[in-house]
């Protein structure tokens, strides 16, 4: 919908008209983030895409991001994370980033001020890492937060790829992605879950909601029939939906 003329619909084609050059992107994760700008500028609300740059594994060493106010006009944010700067990575096969955020401390921050975290795989069985935005902006850049993988190697037969971070708000009718992380609005602190897994196995583990960089509890295998990879969870009107890839 055109924000200047709500009665008019703006349309764009597929694939999305990303600014060039036009490499191949895959595995996009989408968000609608309201956030403050530099120097405490008024908050803005944009759509954000975090895809995989799909190329030869040796060339997949970074993640780009894209933002848009209207899903028509897009801005490229190049190299929001560069895995060649992460010593424990293999410097190849950067896959499927997932971004989540938590309010800046103290626990009662100004609205729209957040810390942003990216969860990512580096392929070759190395594991899943977590990086934090150095600017408290969804545009990054992101830097490795731990100096080691958050999930190390293979877990319960699952290759540590295709991570999705799912923030589950306590409100029973909350939909995935609705509103802000606000204990007063949402009815309490959310729980955070990390879903991942290739090689025909899906696994979930809880993430510490206070730090966003530590795990809680045990890994649990949740592999459904014919599962291959790409787990994805969403919540609508209190019902949880689990989607995944099947086939060869």
Q: Within its chain, how far is the Cα of 216 from the centroid? A: 19
Residue 110 gets which letter from DSSP?
Answer: P
How far is Cα 176 from Cα 116, in angstroms, rounded to an integer? 17
Q: Are 165 and 100 in contact (CB under 8 A)?
A: yes
The question of whether 229 is a catalytic residue gets the answer: yes
Catalytic annotation, pick one of 29, 159, 162, 229: 229
Q: Are 90 and 64 in contact (CB under 8 A)?
A: no
Catalytic annotation, pick one of 27, 70, 115, 168: 27
How far is Cα 244 from Cα 30, in angstroms, rounded to an integer? 16
* Short-list 99, 126, 96, 23, CA closest to 244: 96
How far is Cα 42 from Cα 50, in angstroms, rounded to an integer? 24
Residue 155 gets which letter from DSSP?
Answer: B
The question of whether 113 is a catalytic residue gets the answer: no
Active site residues: 27, 229
């Amino acid at each position: 919908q055109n924000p200047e003329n709500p009665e008019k619909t703006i349309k764009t084609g597929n694939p999305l008209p990303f600014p060039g050059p036009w490499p191949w992107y895959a595995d996009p994760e989408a968000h609608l983030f309201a956030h403050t700008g530099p120097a405490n500028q008024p908050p803005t609300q944009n759509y954000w895409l975090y895809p995989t740059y799909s190329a030869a594994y040796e060339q997949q060493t970074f993640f780009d991001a894209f933002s848009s106010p209207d899903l028509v006009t897009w801005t490229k944010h190049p190299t929001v994370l560069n895995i060649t700067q992460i010593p424990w990575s293999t410097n190849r096969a950067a896959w499927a980033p997932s971004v989540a955020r938590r309010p800046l401390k103290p626990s009662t921050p100004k609205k729209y001020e957040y810390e942003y975290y990216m969860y990512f795989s580096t392929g070759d069985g190395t594991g899943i890492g977590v990086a934090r935005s150095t600017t408290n902006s969804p545009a990054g850049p992101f830097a490795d937060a731990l100096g080691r993988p958050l999930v190390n190697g293979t877990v319960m037969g699952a290759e540590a790829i295709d991570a999705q971070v799912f923030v589950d708000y306590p409100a029973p009718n909350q939909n995935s992605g609705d509103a802000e992380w606000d204990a007063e609005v949402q009815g309490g602190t959310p729980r955070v879950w990390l879903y991942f897994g290739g090689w025909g196995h899906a696994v979930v583990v809880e993430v510490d909601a206070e730090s966003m960089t530590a795990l809680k509890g045990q890994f649990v295998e949740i592999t459904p029939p014919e599962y291959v990879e790409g787990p994805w969870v969403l919540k609508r009107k209190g019902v949880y939906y689990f989607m995944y890839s099947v086939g060869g």
